[in-house]
Amino acid sequence: MKTIALILLYLSLPLFIFWGGWFEWWVALPPTLVLGYFLFTFCKSSEIHLRSTISSIEITPLSACLLLALFWTYFAGVGGFRPQHFDYYKHNLIFNNLVRYQWPVRYADGSYLCYYHAYYLPPALLARWVGGMSYVHYFTFGWTWLGLGLLFTVLYRLNGWKLVFLFLFFNSPEAILLIYDAFKSSHFLHFLKDFWQNDHTVELIKSPGGLLFHSHVDAFVATPQHALPAWLSTAVLLKLWKEKSKAPLTFLPFALVVFLLYWSPLVAIGFLGLAFYLSFVQKTLVLSSFSSAFRLLFFVTLLAYPALIFYAGHVPSNEVSSWWWSFFTTRKDTVFLVVFIVLEISTWAVLIGMGYKNQTIFKRDFNLLLCTLFILLGLTLYRYGHFNDLARRASLPALMVICWGVSTLSFKKPWMIFTLVLCAVLPLKQQLRWFSAQPYSVIADKEIKDFTPYSIHYLSKYHPDSFDVTAQYLGKADASYLHYFAPHVLPKPKEVTRAFYYWKSAFQLKDYEKTALRRYGIQRLYVKFFDVDWDISTRQAVPKAAIRFFENPSLEVIPTVFITNRTLEKLSWGGVDELSKKIAEKVQNLNPFPLGEVQIDCDWSLATRAKYFRLLTQLKKNLPDSTGLSATIRLHQIKFYRTTGVPPVERGMLMYYNMDDWKNIKTENSILDLNVAGRYADYVSAYPLPLDVVLPVFRWAVVYRNGRFLRFVNHLTHKQLQSHPFFIKSPLPNAYTVVQNGTFLEIPVRRGDLFRVEESTLENLKISTQTLAQEIQNRKVTFALYHLDSLNLTYYAVPTARVFLPQGKGVQDPIQQLFQTFR
C-alpha cells in the first residue's frame, strides 16, 4: 500500500499546484481540503505509516526497477539529453511558457494556455523557484523518472519480471501484417532495410490520423503526459483488484478519474469504464443508497469543478469527430475496420479465452479482461481528433489491463509464442533504434530553452496548412475563467517611452518622417552626434561625422556618441580622461537643447573593458549633474555580464539586432535571427541594470566576393534581386549569386559575387517585442526602433493610403502594432 500511496501523491501533486497557481483562493481551497482529507483517510485506513522499511529481499528488484526506469527515461529523450520525438516541439514549448510566463499563462492576444498540463507543472514550478530555464530539463527528467520508477515497481509486485518485460515490449498484434509486407517485397533484404530505417506503424484506414492503438514504447516517447497517468492509475486499480484490498474503494476509482481529468481527459474517458466496473464488482458503488451516491457525487464535483471551469473557456478547435464509417470512402475501408478489430482486439480475446479455458485465468479476472475488450471495441467505432486522439489515448488503460492479463498466461503452444513475438517486433525495433544517431523518423531539433522568444502560437510553424494546431492549447480571451476565477495578480503596466534612433550626419526630417513621429506618438529621438575613432596619422582619438542641425527637433533629443573599440585599444590611460572631457564638451557645443541624457555606443571587449568603464565614469563627472548617462548593451554582454562587466551608467539600451557574424558567408540573417536571440533572451530579466530596448527596422544586402565580405547595400529587397537578370537564387539562405559582370544600382558587380538579403520581418519583430516586453523587469522603459528613415518606414507600411488615419480607424500599420505590442 505504500507504493500505492506514493502513486496517489504523485498524481495529486500537480492538482495542488494547479489549484494554487491558477485560481483565486476561494476556488482553490475547497478541492485542496477535500483532496488532502481523502489522501489522509486513504493512508490511515490502509495502515500506512510514515516510517518506511524495505526488506533486503526487495532491495535488488526495486533497484533494478529504478535502473530500468532511468534507462527508459533517458533513451526516450526526456529532458533533451538524447534526441527527442517530434511531439517534443509541443512539450518543450509548454515547459518554456510555464517557466517564463506568469501563471495563469496569458498571451499578447489575450488568450490563455488552456491545456491539461498536470504533467508539466511540477518541473516548471521547481524551475521557476531555483533557476529558470537552465534547470527545467533536469526537473523534467527527474519527475518522469520518478513516475516510471513507481510504475515498474508496482508491475513487479503484480506479476514479477514477466509482467515488467511484457510491458516493455507490449504492442497489439498489428505486426502480423509485416509478414504480408515481407512476402510482397521483391527483395527481402531491401524490406529489412526499409523496416529498420522508416516508420512502419500500421494504419489500415489511411485517413489522416488513422485508427491506431499505440505500443507502450511509442506512447511513452511521444506523449508521456498521457501515458504516465494512464499506466499509474491502472496499476493502482490492478493492485487493489489483485489483493482484494479493504482500502476505501468507494471513492478511489473515481478519484483517479478526476486526477486523469487534469492529466489527460481522453485517458479519463477510457479509464471511466474500468472505474465503474471495479466499483460494481467490489460492491462499493451502492446506487440504491441515496446518501452514498450523493457523497460520491459531492466528492467528485468538489475535485472536478476547477477543471470544468478552466476547460470551459477553450477556443473552439474544430476537431474532426464522428462515427468511423462516416469517413469511409470505399468498401475496402469497411473491410479494413473489420481487419483492425480482428487484429487488435480479437487476437487478445482468443488468447484470453484460451487462458480461461485452461484455468490459468480465473473467472473474476476473465470478466475484467472482457470489460477491457469491450472498451477497446467501443473506441474503434467513434473517431475524435485530427489524429484520432481518442483511440490512441483512451485505449491506454484497457491495453494496460490486457498486458497484465496476458502476463498470467502460460505460453506453451508454439502459435501463442509466435503471436507474442510478433507483438514485440515493433517495440523492440523502437528500443534498438534508441542506440542509433536518429532514433525517430522525425526529430525535434529544439530544446526547451531554445523556445525562449516564442509563445505556444509558434507551434503552428510545424503543422503548416494542415489545421489550426495552436487552437488546441488556447483559451478564449473573454472566458469566464479569466474574468471571475483566475487570480487577478496583473503585472503593473510599464511606463513606455516611444523612441526612434536617428543615424544620419544631417538632421533634416522629411514630411513623411514628421508625420510618422506624430502618428506613432514618438516622445524621444536618439540622435547620433558624432563618432569617435582612432586617427592613425595623429595617433589620437578624434570625433568624426558630427551632426548638423538644419532644423530644431520638436521632441526630446538624446545625444548618442559611437566609439570604436579600436580607439580604446590604442588609447593610453591618460588619454581616457582627456577623451571624456572632449566628448562632454563637444556634445554640449552641438546640443542646442536642454541636456537630459547622453548615450554612449561601444561594443567593448574584455581587453578594453577597464578603459571603457573608466571613460564612462569620467564622462559622468564632466557632464552637468542633472544629465543621465546610458550605454548600449549587446546580447552577449547580457548573457555573460559577470565576465564582460556591467558599465557604470544609470541605464542600458539593449541592442536587439546585429546579433550574428555578418562577415560569415553562411550566416542566415545577422540583423535579427530568432534562433540566435533565443540563446540570450532568457538572461535579459536577470541583468543588473534597468534596460531600454531598440529593435531594427532596416534592411540591407551583405555582398561577398570570393567568399569574403565586400560591402553593404542598404534598403535592398528580395524582390529586387529575384526580378533582376543578373541574379539567381543561391543554395545559401537568403542569398543570390551574380551570373554576369555589370553594374547593379550603380554598383560594379562580378560574376560569382554573392548578395545576402537581410531584413527584420514583421513576424520576427512582433515575437521579439512580445518577448522583451515580458523579459525586461523595470517599469520605466524606452522602446525604440532603429532607425528613422522614410525608406525604412514605407517598407513596412500597409498597401493603403489610409496609413495615417487617427488611431483606431482604417488599417493599422505594422510599426504602430509594434509600439502597441510592447506594454
Contact 646/688 with Cβ under 8 angstroms? yes
At 252 the pLDDT is: 87
Place of cell 517530434: 86
> In this structure, what is the dihedral angle of CA atoms 785, 788, 790, 791, given to the nearest 10 degrees?
-60
End-to-end CA distance of the chain: 53
At 800 the pLDDT is: 42
Spatial CB neighbours of 629, under 8 Å, sequence gap ≥ 6: 597, 598, 599, 600, 616, 619, 620, 623, 649, 650
At 735 the pLDDT is: 96
Backbone angles phi, psi at 814, to 5 degrees: -60, -35
At 55 the pLDDT is: 59
Which residue(s) pair with 444 in the sheet?
A: 84
User: Which of 609, 535, 529, 530 shows the shortest CA–CA distance to 565?
Assistant: 609
Confidence of residue 808 (pLDDT cuts 50, 70, 90): very low
Q: For 687-698, what is each residue's pLDDT tens digit?
A: 889 999 999 999
Q: For 173-182, what is each residue's pLDDT tens digit?
A: 877 777 777 7
Threshold 0.85, pTM exceeds = no
Contact 187/268 with Cβ under 8 angstroms? no
* Average pLDDT in the chain: 88
> What are the start-end ranges of the H helices in 358-479?
363-379, 389-407, 414-423, 425-433
> In this structure, what is the dihedral angle of CA atoms 166, 172, 173, 174, given to the nearest 10 degrees?
-140
Question: Higher confidence at residue 424 or residue 224?
Answer: 224
- Coil vs helix vs strand at 808: coil
Residue 346 burial by CB count (10 A; 0-12/13-18/19+): exposed, middle or buried? middle
Q: For 489-509, what is each residue's pLDDT tens digit?
A: 666 678 999 999 999 999 999
Count CB atoms within 10 A of the CB of residue 449. 21
DSSP class of 102: P
Backbone angles phi, psi at 256, to 5 degrees: -65, -35
Q: Side chain identity at 362, as an amino acid letter?
A: F
For residue 750, pLDDT over 90 is answered with: yes
At 56 the pLDDT is: 59
For residue 274, pLDDT over 70 is answered with: yes
The alpha-carbon radius of gyration of the chain (Å, integer) is: 33
Q: For 606-641, what is each residue's pLDDT tens digit?
A: 999 999 999 999 999 999 999 999 999 999 999 898
Reported as half-sphere exposure (CB side, CA atoms, 13 A), residue 221 has a value of 28
Q: Mean pLDDT, to the nearest integer, of 92-102?
A: 91
For residue 289, pLDDT over 80 is answered with: no
Give buried/exposed letters for 607-616 (b at 16+ CB in 10 A, else e). ebbebbbbbb
Contact 626/638 with Cβ under 8 angstroms? no
Backbone angles phi, psi at 45, to 5 degrees: -70, -25
At 708 the pLDDT is: 94
Name the percent of the chain lying above pLDDT 70. 93
At 807 the pLDDT is: 41
CA distances to 105, 398, 783, 820 from 109, rounded to whole Å, are: 12, 40, 20, 12
Whole-number Å distance between alpha carbons of 526 and 502: 6
Confidence of residue 282 (pLDDT cuts 50, 70, 90): low
- The secondary structure of the chain in percent helix, strand, coil, rounded to multiples of 5, reads 55, 15, 35
Question: Higher confidence at residue 606 or residue 416?
Answer: 606
At 162 the pLDDT is: 92
Contact 586/529 with Cβ under 8 angstroms? yes
Confidence of residue 249 (pLDDT cuts 50, 70, 90): low
At 44 the pLDDT is: 77
Confidence of residue 47 (pLDDT cuts 50, 70, 90): low
Q: For 428-469, what is each residue's pLDDT tens digit?
A: 988 999 998 889 888 998 888 888 778 888 888 787 666 778
For residue 243, pLDDT over 80 is answered with: no
Count CB atoms within 10 A of the CB of residue 279. 20
Classify the C-alpha dihedral 663-667-671-674 as positive or negative: negative
At 805 the pLDDT is: 37
